[in-house]
Amino acid sequence: MTIPPETTLHLDALSVGYGARTVIDSLSLPPFRGGEITALIGPNAAGKTTLLRALAGLHPARGALRLGDADLLRLDGAAHAARVSYMPQALPQRVALTVFEATLSALRASPSARPDARAAQALVGETLDALGIGALAFRSLDQLSGGQRQLASLAQSVVRRPSVLLLDEPTSALDLNYQFRVMHLVQSIVRARGIIAVVVLHDVALACRWCQRIVILSDGQVVADGPPAEAITPDTLARVYSVHARVEACSRGAVQVMVDGILADGPPSCSGDVMPPRSS
Amino acid sequence: MSKSTDTVDVSRYQALFRRRILIVLALAVAAGAAFLLDLATGPSRLGLDEMMRGLFTPDSVSPAVRVILWDVRLPYAVMAVLVGAALALAGTEMQTILNNALASPFTLGVSSAAAFGAALAIVLGLAVPGVTGPWAVSANAFVFAFGSVLLLQVLARSRGAGVETLTLFGIALVFTFNALVALLQFVASQEALQQLVFWSMGSLARTNWSKVQVLALILAVTVPFSLASAWQMTALRLGEDRARSFGVRLQRLRFLSLLRASLLAATAVAFVGTISFIGLVGPHIARLLVGEDHRFLLPASMVCGALILSLASVASKTLVPDVLLPVGVVTALVGIPFFMTLIFLKRPRA
Ligand SMILES: Nc1ncnc2c1ncn2[C@@H]1O[C@H](COP(=O)(O)OP(=O)(O)O)[C@@H](O)[C@H]1O
Ligand SMILES: [Mg+2]
C-alpha cells in the first residue's frame, strides 16, 4: 500500500492503560510524517511497548489516533493491520517453520487484500534478500540465534508493505553489521515508499545516527521531542536516565553521547551529586 | 552470524511444498494399508481376500462372513480411522490455540466431563431427556463434554482471559470431574462400577454404523473450516501479537477452533471412550514430519491419528489371542515406539 507523502499519523490526548492503571496519560504529539524515522527511547518500563501496541491497534486506547483521514481507533483489526505493521519485542520460541514460511504467513494469513501465492512467494524472496538473510530462508526458526530470529521477525513486518512501520527494539540482539543493515533497510523503505516509521531503540547513538526525530518517553510522559540535537542533551539524559552525560558532535557532525557517571538517586538535573566517572 | 548475501531461490520453496505434499500422501497410503490390515484381522481368522469379496461381490461369500464384515470388521475399522483423525486434528488445534505443546483434546477436561456424564447414566440412570437405550450413555457423555468446554469459553471470554487462564480453568475442571466420578464410583454397585471402568477404557467395540455416520458428519463439517484457518493458525505460532498484527482475528479464531476441537473430542469420547495418546502424539509426529505450516500439519495429523489408531486396533485383536483388548489400552503401546524412533531420528546431527 502506498500513501501520499503528506499523510501523517496524528496522536492526540491518547491514553493507554491496563485495567485501572493508566500507563500513557493523555499523550499528544506533533504528527508523525511520512518519510521520517522517529526513535522512541526511554528507560525500561517507560511505556514504549504499551504506546507502540496501542498505535498498532493491539491494545485499546482512548483519545484520538488518525492516519490521514482514517480514524485508527475505529478501524477493525484487519483494516488496521493493512495500514500499520508492528514488530513485537518478544520473539517466538520453538517454532518449526522456516524463515520463508513464516514470512509467507505474514502475507497469507491476512484477511485483507492478499497477493496470490506466486506473487507472495516472490515478495518474500525479495524481502529476505533485502535484509541480507537469503541464506537463512530455508532454515527452521527454532534453529536460529536470537539475532537471526529478530531479522526473521523484521522480515515479517516489512513484507506486508505497511503505511506505518512500528518496530519494538528491532536491533537489541544484533551485531554491529546487522544493526547497520536493519537501520539502513528501514531508512531506504521509509524514503522510497514515504512511510512512517516509529522505532523503539535503547541505543541513543543509533537513534541519533538514523532518526530524524527522537521522542523520549519516561513514565508515560514525553520528556523531549525533536531532532536528535535538540532532544538529546545532558539535561534530558540526566532527567530520564539519571546519568551524567556529555553530548558532543563527532567530526562528521553526528551527535555522540558519552556517559560519565550515574546521578545519585536525588532529583535528576542537579549536577552536584554526581558519582565519579570511572577513570579510563 | 551468517553474512551471506545469497539470493533466495523461490523454486526451493516450491520443492519444499511438493515434498510436504508427498509426505502427507505417503502417510495416507500407510494409513490405507493399516486400515486394510485392520479389516483383515480378527478372531474369526477371515483374511483380506474374503473381506474384499464380501465388500465388492457380497453374493460370493456366506451370510456369516457378510455379518462379520458389515457388522463388525468394517464399522470398527472405519471408526478407528475416524476417531484417530478426529482426535489428532483436535489435538493439533488445541496445541496451536493454547500455545502448549502438551495440550491434547482432553486438556480442557473434555474426557473427564464425558466420564462424569457417562457415570451419571450408568450409576444413577440419569439421562438426557428423550434419549434412551444404548444412546443414553453416549448422549450424556457428549452433553457434559461439550457443555463443559462451552462453559470454559464463556468464562474465559467474559473475563477477557488469555490462554494460560483458560488452560488453568480446564485443569480445574479435570480435577472437579475426576472427583465427581470417584464419588459416583464410590456409591456405585459392583456391576455399574465394572461397566464404568470398561467405558472409560476406550474401545471400538461400541461402534455401530449410526455412530460412524455421526462422527463422519462432524468431521465433514469441521475439517473444511479447520483447513480454511490453516494460515491463521500458522501465523499464531509466531505469537499472538504477531498474528494480530497480520490482521488475524484472534478471539474468533480461538473460539471457533476450540469449538471444533471440543466437538470432535466430545463426539469421539462419547462413542468410544477415552483414547488419550493419539491427540497428544499424533500432532507431534506430524509436526516432526511436515513442520508447522498448518496447510500440511492439519491433514498430516489427521492421517497420523488414523494410522496409529488402525495399527492399535490391529494390536488390540492380536496381542492376546482370541481376546479383544480395549484399544485405548494398547494405543500408547503401539504409538510410543514409533514416536520415539522419530524423535531420535530427528535429533540434530550436531
Ligand atoms: N500486561 C500488563 N499488565 C499490567 N501492566 C503492564 C503490562 N504490560 C506492561 N505493564 C506496565 O506498563 C508499564 C510500561 O511497560 P512497557 O510499555 O512494556 O515498557 P517499556 O516497553 O518502555 O519497557 C510498566 O510499568 C509495566 O509494568
Ligand atoms: Mg518494551
Residue A32 sits in the same domain as residue A76: yes
CB atoms inside a 10 Å sphere around CB B198: 14
Model confidence at A271, pLDDT cuts 50, 70, 90, reads very low
- Answer whether B42's CB lies under 8 Å from B68's CB: yes
Would you say residue A246 lies in a domain? Answer: no
Mean pLDDT value across residues A196-218:
94
Residue A70 sits in the same domain as residue A180: yes
Averaged pLDDT score across all residues of chain A? 88
Would you say residue B41 lies in a domain? Answer: no
Among candidate residues A116, A139, A160, the one where a domain is terminated:
A160
Q: Which of A85, A101, A144, A200 to mutate to test the interface with B (most CBs of B within 10 A)?
A: A101
CA-based nearest residue to B57, from B145, A102, B49: B49
Residue A7 sits in the same domain as residue A110: no
Residue A169 sits in the same domain as residue A206: yes
Would you say residue A32 lies in a domain? Answer: yes
More confident residue, B197 or A3: B197
**Ligand 1: nearest atom to the Cα of A168:** 21
Among candidate residues A201, A227, A253, the one where a domain is terminated:
A227
Would you say residue B58 lies in a domain? Answer: no
CA-based nearest residue to A29, from A47, A46, A11: A11
The model's pTM: 0.91
| DSSP assigned state of A275 | P
Model confidence at B151, pLDDT cuts 50, 70, 90, reads confident
Would you say residue B332 lies in a domain? Answer: yes
- Chain A: residue whose CA lies nearest to B350: A143
The label of the residue with cell 508515560 reads A220
Q: How do beta strands A21-33 and A8-18 pair?
A: antiparallel
Distance from CA of A190 to the nearest CA of B (A): 19
pLDDT at position A267 over 60: no
pLDDT at position A77 over 80: yes
pLDDT at A279: 46
Model confidence at A28, pLDDT cuts 50, 70, 90, reads very high
Residue A68 sits in the same domain as residue A136: no
Taking CB atoms and an 8 Å cutoff, what residues of chain B touch A129?
A: 5, 7-8
Domain of residue B117, residue span: 79-345
**A115 touching B (Cβ < 8 Å):** no
Domain of B311, CATH number, reads 1.10.3470.10
- Answer whether A44's CB lies under 8 Å from A68's CB: no
The complex's ipTM works out to 0.89
Task: Answer yes or no: do A100 and B13 touch at CB < 8 A.
Answer: yes
pLDDT at B260: 94
pLDDT at A110: 87
d(CA A108, CA A220): 35
What are the start-end ranges of the E strands in chain A? 8-18, 21-33, 37-41, 62-67, 70-71, 84-87, 164-168, 196-200, 213-218, 221-226, 243-249, 255-262
Q: How do beta strands A62-67 and A8-18 pair?
A: antiparallel
Residue A66 sits in the same domain as residue A180: yes
Counting one residue from chain A and one from chain B, the pairs whose CB atoms sit within 8 A come to 138
Domain count for chain B: 1
Query: Which residues form ligand 1's pocket by a CB distance below 6 Å?
Result: A 18, 23, 42, 44-50
A86, β-bridge pairs: A166
Domain count for chain A: 2
pLDDT at position A270 over 70: no
Would you say residue A243 lies in a domain? Answer: no
d(CA B39, CA A31): 71
Domain of A52, CATH number, reads 3.40.50.300
Among candidate residues A160, A187, A207, the one where a domain is terminated:
A160
d(CA A74, CA A69): 12
pLDDT at position A1 over 50: no
Burial B256-278 (b: 16+ CB within 10 A, else e): bbbbbbbbbbbbbbbbbbbbbbb
Model confidence at A6, pLDDT cuts 50, 70, 90, reads low
Task: Answer yes or no: do B245 and A86 touch at CB < 8 A.
Answer: yes
Would you say residue B69 lies in a domain? Answer: no
pLDDT at position B289 over 50: yes
d(CA B140, CA B121): 7
Residue A8 sits in the same domain as residue A133: no
Q: Kindly state the percentage of chain B with pLDDT values over 70.
A: 96
d(CA B223, CA B110): 19
CA A87 – ligand 2 centroid, Å: 11
Domain of residue A26, residue span: 1-83+162-227
Nearest CA to ligand 1 atom 16: A47
pLDDT at B81: 98
Distance from CA of A279 to the nearest CA of B (A): 34
CB atoms inside a 10 Å sphere around CB B118: 29
| Edge-to-edge strands, sheet with A21-33 | A21-33, A8-18, A62-67, A70-71
Taking CB atoms and an 8 Å cutoff, what residues of chain A touch B253?
A: none
pLDDT at A251: 78
Would you say residue B49 lies in a domain? Answer: no
CA A64 – ligand 2 centroid, Å: 22
Would you say residue A237 lies in a domain? Answer: no
Mean pLDDT value across residues B295-316:
96
Residue A187 sits in the same domain as residue A79: yes
Cell digits for B312?
Answer: 492399535
- Answer whether A199's CB lies under 8 Å from A211's CB: yes
**A158 touching B (Cβ < 8 Å):** no
pLDDT at B349: 46
Residue A68 sits in the same domain as residue A178: yes
**A117 touching B (Cβ < 8 Å):** no
Q: Residue A217, SS3?
A: strand
pLDDT at B152: 83
**B343 touching A (Cβ < 8 Å):** no
Would you say residue B3 lies in a domain? Answer: no
Mean pLDDT value across residues B129-146:
84
